[in-house]
Amino acid sequence: MKQRSLKILLLILLALAEVVAVVRICFHESIPQGLSQNEQVRIILERSDCLVCHSQDPELPFYSKFPVIGKMMDAHVRAGSRFIDLEAELAETGQISESAMNKLDHAVRYSTMPKHSYRMVHWSSGLNREEKAFLSSWIAEKRGSAEPVWPLADAVDYDAAIAGLGERLFNNAQLSLDGSISCATCHVLEDGGADHADERVSEGIYGLTGNVNSPTVYNAEYNVRQFWNGRAADLQEQAEGPITNPVEMGDQSLEQVVERLHKDKELVQEFKTLYPGEGLTGRTLCHAIAEFERTLITPDSPFDLYLKGDLDALSKLEKKGYDEFKENACADCHFGAALGGRSFEYLDIYGDYFSDRDPAIEYTSDDDGLKGFTLKEEDLHKFKVPLLRNISLTAPYFHDGSIQTLDDAVRAMAKYELGKKLSDSEVEAIVAFLHTLTGKNPHLQI
Ligand code: HEC
Ligand code: HEC
Ligand code: HEC
């Protein structure tokens, strides 16, 4: 009985808080004019209390010290700051990043923030209609799109002769120490550009294995940086990685490979023609491979056709899946033309992914994520958000290849990134949508 009246009291308080908040935010002053848009955005976020939770050192109310409530709040504020640290972004650059802007879009579009349960403390938190409209149009303008995802380019600019050379290098096993492995061994172009589905991690030279799953090379050009932990800036820098990796292609240095390739007179001549003055060097080798990789885009998927106006290109279920994808904040991280690849995010916002993982998989430094590259403690367990183009072709999933099916990948995302459980019908729709992301490329045979 006592519990019931307590619940009712809480509900009344919540309702009251909601009313007061709605009234309060209506009285926010109008957005000051004569400032830069960035400054206007900052003012809106500050006066709406957004920074209270979205900072590393949040100001918490007195009752956050109470046992049960305190613990719940701690978890939420921790999640809030790990989801997006607005204060740090504004302090560092004075600008909101592409990735934060996209999340903001979601919060505005679906009125998710702040969480209702916090209205009781933050009476003035929340955005009024004018503020929401301002933020929406600011985001659409900066992003160049009202939607969080947009079609892939139909074509890219590239040098056909150099890309042709790059293609042969991509398939050339002489790039590996014992002549057994080419890039194409681990990035099977006919089949999604990643490893075979039965391989959790790639097998390299002498049957040695690494610790991570090979991502697709299709659309890799869209990645903000390369590798799960972002240690290569771009495709050209990336190409050096596998060649000089002891468990992938086995050489010690690019010079060693270049020396071996010099035995191939035809190849040397071709490099001389295409790179006058420089010829075959480590730099030109990686440049040619990267040029080929730039051709590996996959436009014209059913989803692209739909975005471009062919409303029948997706079934009802697939369209529902796209709506669910946006509404459930998947597009908060998987955004842009390739649905991801643009940012690094914690894999364990709501749950301890690594302690839940199959204990047969040993924890290695590759599981540290971005920290392995930046050496910053706060980057522990941040991984590059993978792009989702052609995702139905590239099982198994996640950096450790520990997840076999798309259904399970979607469920794990909801659990660890969003702290919620999706219904079977939501999962079904999202997976149906993910299947519409397979596009076209002359190398892809599906
Ligand atoms: C009292 C804490 C709190 C306040 C205040 C708060 N947030 Fe959040 N926010 C969270 C938490 C916790 C999450 C993690 C995601 C979740 O649980 O929904 C989050 C997630 C988000 C996200 C990503 C999820 C989404 O819906 O797209 C955005 C963007 C966001 N907040 C923006 C804001 C803005 C803008 C404000 C100010 C109007 C604000 N937040 C105020 C706690 C807060
Ligand atoms: C032995 C298997 C193997 C070989 C051979 C191999 N790769 Fe990879 N590739 C991987 C793995 C595994 C990763 C992920 C490594 C990481 O992120 O730490 C990767 C990552 C990449 C990425 C980054 C994609 C992304 O989303 O970050 C590109 C691009 C790539 N490889 C291209 C190449 C090229 C070009 C070659 C040949 C020069 C090559 N790979 C040879 C297994 C291989
Ligand atoms: C907070 C950011 C974030 C949100 C929200 C998010 N993801 Fe992810 N997603 C990631 C990261 C980071 C990874 C890589 C995890 C890893 O490899 O260990 C990932 C991986 C994936 C993968 C596997 C990709 C691959 O190549 O292995 C799929 C599929 C996926 N997400 C779908 C979704 C769906 C569907 C949703 C919504 C229910 C969602 N994600 C929400 C950040 C996010």
What pLDDT score was predicted for residue 409?
98
52 C-alpha to center of ligand 3: Å?
27
Ligand 3 binding site (Cβ under 6 Å of any ligand atom): 325, 328-330, 332-334, 345, 347, 349, 383, 385-386, 388, 391, 394, 397-399, 406, 409-410, 413-414, 417-418, 430
**Spatial distance between the Cα atoms of 163 and 235, rounded to a whole number of angstroms:** 13
Centre of ligand 1 from the C-alpha of residue 54, in Å: 7
pLDDT of 411 reads: 98
Cα(216)–Cα(290) distance, rounded to whole angstroms? Answer: 14
Q: Which of 187, 211, 291, 296 to mutate to test the pocket of ligand 2 (most atoms within 8 A of CB)?
A: 187
- Give the model's pLDDT for residue 86: 86
Q: What is the pLDDT of residue 124?
A: 56
Q: Are 370 and 230 in contact (CB under 8 A)?
A: yes
| Radius of gyration of the chain measured on its C-alpha atoms | 25
**Separation of alpha carbons 374 and 367, rounded Å:** 14
For the chain, residues with pLDDT lower than 50 are none
Cα angle: 377, vertex 379, 381; to 5 degrees: 110
Q: What's the 174 CA to ligand 2 centre distance in angstroms?
A: 16
Mean residue pLDDT of the chain comes to 90
For residue 42, report the distance from its CA to the centre of ligand 3, in Å.
Answer: 29
Distance of alpha carbon 408 from alpha carbon 3, whole angstroms: 38
Q: Give yes or no for residue 444 CB within 6 A of ligand 1.
A: no
* Tokens (6 digits) for 347: 């894999």
Give the per-residue pLDDT at 197.
79
Query: Which two tokens mark 284?
Result: 């030109």
Model pLDDT for residues 368-404, shown as the tens digit of each residue? 999 999 999 999 999 999 999 999 999 999 999 999 9
Cα 16 from Cα 29, distance rounded (Å) = 22
Cis peptide before 442 (omega within 30 of 0): no
Q: Name which residue sits closest to atom 3 of ligand 2, judged by CA.
A: 186
Q: Considering every ligand atom, which ligand is closest to the CA of 108? A: 1
Say how many Å lie between the CA of residue 149 and the centre of ligand 2.
25
| Protein residue with least CA distance to atom 16, ligand 3 | 398
What separation in Å is there between the alpha carbon of 69 and the centre of ligand 1? 18
